[in-house]
């Protein structure tokens, strides 16, 4: 907006004198003096107003530190060369084309008889054409600052870098051909070509300025558009939630196609391209829609259908970019809503494109209904699961029980929702594995969405301390450690209490809340490490699980033989092999007697 505002200021600053001269031209034509004086004076003032306007715009836009250098980042050497080129065309144009216009239009008519000077008019036009050829040669020569500057843009003007000699000589030969035609007497053709070339040159400069303005806007607003497009990380198109260079590159590529397309349309209007050939081809019949009717599908109908398909494909591809730039900056920061909007808009564009494309080849609703009915029967038998998953996908986008970025648990699998497609949803688990889950599972199975309401998640930590420890002191220590962690939320407040008595310990539970589920593991690790260190400093014991085996001595032969066996085995230098153990005569008897003694 700042660049456009500065451009309007430049145009407004250049307009007063040309507007004043235009008003004088209108007053001269409407004055009381004779027509032989009023009309030439009016034309002279109009030509002078045009020259002053061009010179003023060149002065304001191409001056040092002017609009071109500040807004379009044009080097000072290039602006100086362009300023000289404009002056080299404006001054000879005023001196040569002004009398030529008066003579060729018959405005110089002393005594009511127009002066005929066709040879002089041709000489004047020839002089201006030679001047234009010289200016073009100076601008396009190899060491020209303009050419050297254009060579610095290989990503956008690669065709210029590869074929700059061809472009230069094509322009010079085109201007020379106008001169030759004028010399040979084809004045009308030469003037029509010269006028079209001048308008095409102005159109090219305008498209280039528009392209540079769009690139400037992209570079200035890339970060804001990226922040508004974070929800499209699961998009099938390139990620717009990454660095701003990714989104900016996509917009630049789109601009490279749109601006030349606009230039081609305006260029066809400038050169009065005759569409009769396309109309005749469009009326060429291909096939009959219905054997009982006289309706045919023509080349034009098929072209319309193909054009609709191409436009729908382009809209599908660039839908996320369009919403990220135009719509999402004005919406609240809800990634799920944005992803649903883009996906539903794509489905709507696809459906609308299919209807328009089929209508273009004369397939009305009744014929489409028959086809859909036949497809429905086939889908009911063969593609039931696919249709079910597609419908469930639409329900997920409309009802939104899950959104892109949510952490969910379904069918015993947990992970983060990355993409909601037509048939299935992609979930990435903590092991960075992509799980493809059919959409039907989210509708018919039990679903846990950990972040549906918000991303706040609770972390539970169980701690055991030895019997006899002061419960209040343990609870205070746990709460103090929870408050010291930077990732633990202050609201909801941490909670600590003793849960139960166990056989060998007192069990305490600490509940803390983290802003998002991904922080749960790190917070749990830090709290466990701090609890261990703080308990060691405070002398609070963390008991280990113990089990007591009560053996009642009866003095039977079993214990005597078992003790003898243990003493014998421990005294042996090497452990007994499985074979020697199995052949030991006292082991089975000793073990049986041991069990019998314990039972008694």
Q: Residue range 82-104: average pLDDT?
A: 81
Q: Residue range 198-214: average pLDDT?
A: 84
Confidence class for position 70, pLDDT limits 50, 70, 90? confident
Which residue, among 157, 196, 159, has the nearest Cα to 174 in the 3D structure?
196
Name the residue with higher pLDDT: 188 or 285. 188
% of the chain beyond a pLDDT of 70: 74
Per DSSP, 544 falls in state: P
Neighbouring residues of 243: CB distance < 8 A, sequence distance ≥ 6 = 226
Secondary structure (3-state) at 550: coil
Q: Which of 13-27, 95-109, 248-262 has the lowest mean pLDDT?
A: 95-109
Asked whether 452 and 443 are in contact (CB, 8 A), the reply is: no
Asked whether 143 and 151 are in contact (CB, 8 A), the reply is: no
Residue 297 has pLDDT above 70, yes or no: yes
Which residue, among 415, 413, 416, has the nearest Cα to 441 in the 3D structure?
413
CA distance 449 to 174: 69
Q: What is the pLDDT of residue 366?
A: 65
Q: For strands 447-449 and 407-410, give the pairing.
A: antiparallel
CA distance 81 to 111: 46
CA distance 411 to 433: 16
Tens digits of residue pLDDT in 235-287: 444 344 444 456 667 777 777 778 888 888 888 888 877 666 666 766 667 77
76-85, 254-263, 340-349 — which one is most confidently predicted on average? 76-85
Confidence class for position 598, pLDDT limits 50, 70, 90? very low
Domain boundaries, the chain: 457-538, 557-599
Bridge partners of 428?
Answer: 416, 434
| Alpha helices (H) in 105-186, listed in sequence order | 118-140, 145-150, 158-162, 164-184
Tens digits of residue pLDDT in 399-424: 778 888 888 888 888 888 888 877 78
Q: Residue range 154-162: average pLDDT?
A: 58
Could you list the beta-strand ranges (E) of 490-600. Answer: 495-501, 506-514
Q: What is the pLDDT of residue 161?
A: 63
CATH top-level class of 457-538:
alpha beta
Residue 511 has pLDDT above 90, yes or no: yes
Q: Which of 40-49, 169-178, 349-358, 591-600 has the lowest mean pLDDT?
A: 591-600
Q: What is the pLDDT of residue 115?
A: 66
Locate tokens 């700059």: which residue? 164
Rg over alpha carbons for the chain, rounded to the nearest Å, is 43
Secondary structure (3-state) at 94: helix
The chain-wide mean pLDDT, for the chain, equals 76
Q: What is the pLDDT of residue 344?
A: 78
Which residue, among 22, 31, 42, 189, has the nearest Cα to 102 in the 3D structure?
42
Contacts of range 14-20, beta carbons closer than 8 Å, 24 or more positions apart? 14/53, 14/56, 14/57, 14/59, 14/60, 15/53, 15/56, 17/49, 17/52, 17/56, 18/49, 18/50, 18/52, 18/53, 18/56, 19/49
Q: What is the pLDDT of residue 177?
A: 87
With helix as H, strand as E and coil as C, how does 12-77 read? HHHCHHHHHHHHHHHHHHHCCCCHHHHHHHHHHHHHHHHHHHHHHHHHHHHCCCCHHHHHCCCCHH
CA distance 213 to 399: 41
Q: Which of 391-405, 431-445, 574-588 has the lowest mean pLDDT?
A: 574-588
CA geometry: angle at 358 spanning 354 and 364, to 5°? 120
φ, ψ for residue 432 (rounded to 5)?
65, 30
Confidence class for position 460, pLDDT limits 50, 70, 90? very high
Residue 108 has pLDDT above 80, yes or no: no
Q: Which of 75-89, 269-283, 583-597 has the lowest mean pLDDT?
A: 583-597
Confidence class for position 232, pLDDT limits 50, 70, 90? very low
Asked whether 84 and 134 are in contact (CB, 8 A), the reply is: no
Name the residue with higher pLDDT: 206 or 569. 206
φ, ψ for residue 417 (rounded to 5)?
-70, 120
Q: What is the pLDDT of residue 246?
A: 62
Locate tokens 């005023």: which residue? 94
Q: Residue range 120-137: average pLDDT?
A: 84
b vs e for 109-135, b when ≥16 Cβ sit within 10 Å of the residue's Cβ? eeeeeeeebeeebbebbbebbebbbbb
| Alpha helices (H) in 365-423, listed in sequence order | 365-382, 384-399
Tens digits of residue pLDDT in 535-585: 998 888 888 776 667 776 655 554 455 455 445 544 444 444 444 444 444
Q: From edge to edge, which strands make up the β-sheet containing 506-514?
A: 457-465, 506-514, 495-501
CA distance 566 to 586: 11
CA distance 225 to 218: 9
Neighbouring residues of 138: CB distance < 8 A, sequence distance ≥ 6 = 81, 85, 144
Q: Is the pTM of this model over 0.75?
A: no
What is the enclosing helix (H) or strand (E) of 285? strand 285-288
């Amino acid at each position: 907006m700042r660049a456009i505002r500065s451009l309007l200021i430049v145009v407004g600053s250049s307009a007063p004198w040309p507007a004043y001269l235009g008003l004088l031209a209108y007053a001269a034509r409407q004055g009381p003096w004779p027509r032989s004086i009023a009309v030439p004076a009016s034309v002279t003032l109009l030509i002078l107003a045009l020259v002053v306007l061009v010179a003023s715009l060149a002065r304001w836009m191409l001056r040092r530190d002017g609009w071109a250098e500040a807004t379009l980042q044009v080097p000072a050497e290039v602006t100086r060369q362009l300023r000289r080129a404009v002056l080299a065309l404006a001054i000879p144009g005023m001196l040569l084309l002004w009398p030529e216009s008066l003579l060729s239009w018959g405005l110089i008519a002393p005594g009511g008889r127009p002066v005929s000077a066709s040879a002089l008019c041709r000489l004047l036009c020839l002089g201006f054409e030679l001047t234009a050829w010289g200016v073009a040669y100076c601008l396009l020569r190899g060491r020209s600052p303009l050419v050297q500057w254009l060579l610095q843009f290989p990503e956008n003007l690669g065709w210029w870098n590869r074929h700059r000699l061809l472009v230069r000589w094509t322009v010079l030969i085109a201007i020379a051909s106008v001169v030759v035609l004028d010399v040979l007497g084809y004045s009308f053709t030469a003037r029509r070509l010269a006028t079209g070339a001048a308008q095409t040159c102005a159109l090219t400069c305008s498209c280039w300025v528009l392209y540079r303005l769009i690139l400037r806007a992209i570079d200035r607003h890339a970060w804001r558009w990226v922040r508004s497009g974070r929800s499209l990380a699961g998009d099938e198109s390139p990620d717009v939630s990454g660095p701003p260079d990714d989104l900016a590159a996509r917009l630049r590529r789109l601009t490279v196609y749109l601006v030349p397309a606009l230039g081609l349309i305006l260029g066809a209007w400038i050169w009065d391209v005759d569409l009769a050939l396309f109309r005749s081809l469009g009326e060429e019949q291909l096939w009959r829609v219905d054997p009982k009717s006289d309706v045919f599908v023509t080349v034009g109908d098929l072209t319309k259908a193909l054009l609709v398909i191409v436009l729908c494909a382009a809209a599908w591809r660039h839908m996320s970019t369009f919403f990220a730039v135009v719509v999402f900056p004005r919406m609240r920061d809800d990634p799920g809503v944005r992803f649903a909007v883009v996906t539903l808009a794509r489905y709507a564009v696809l459906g609308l494109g299919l209807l328009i494309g089929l209508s273009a080849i004369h397939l009305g609703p009744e014929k489409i209904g028959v086809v859909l009915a036949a497809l429905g029967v086939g889908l009911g038998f063969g593609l039931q699961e696919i249709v079910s998953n597609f419908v469930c996908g639409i329900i997920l986008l409309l009802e939104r029980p899950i959104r892109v970025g949510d952490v969910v648990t379904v069918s015993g699998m947990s992970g983060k929702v990355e993409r909601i497609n037509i048939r299935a949803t992609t979930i990435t688990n903590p092991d960075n594995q992509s799980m493809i889950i059919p959409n039907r599972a989210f509708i018919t199975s039990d679903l846990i969405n950990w972040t549906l309401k918000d991303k706040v998640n609770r972390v539970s930590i169980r701690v055991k301390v030895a019997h006899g420890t002061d419960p209040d002191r343990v609870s205070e220590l746990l709460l103090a450690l929870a408050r010291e962690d930077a990732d633990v939320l202050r609201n909801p407040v941490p909670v600590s209490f003793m849960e139960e008595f166990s056989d060998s310990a007192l069990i305490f539970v600490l509940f803390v809340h983290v802003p998002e589920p991904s922080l749960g593991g790190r917070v749990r690790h830090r709290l466990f490490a701090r609890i261990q260190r703080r308990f060691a400093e405070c002398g609070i014991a963390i008991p280990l699980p113990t089990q007591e085996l009560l053996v009642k001595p009866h003095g039977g032969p079993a214990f005597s033989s078992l003790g003898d066996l243990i003493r014998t085995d421990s005294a042996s230098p090497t452990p007994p092999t499985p074979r020697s153990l199995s052949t030991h005569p006292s082991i089975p008897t000793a073990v049986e007697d041991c069990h019998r003694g314990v039972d008694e």
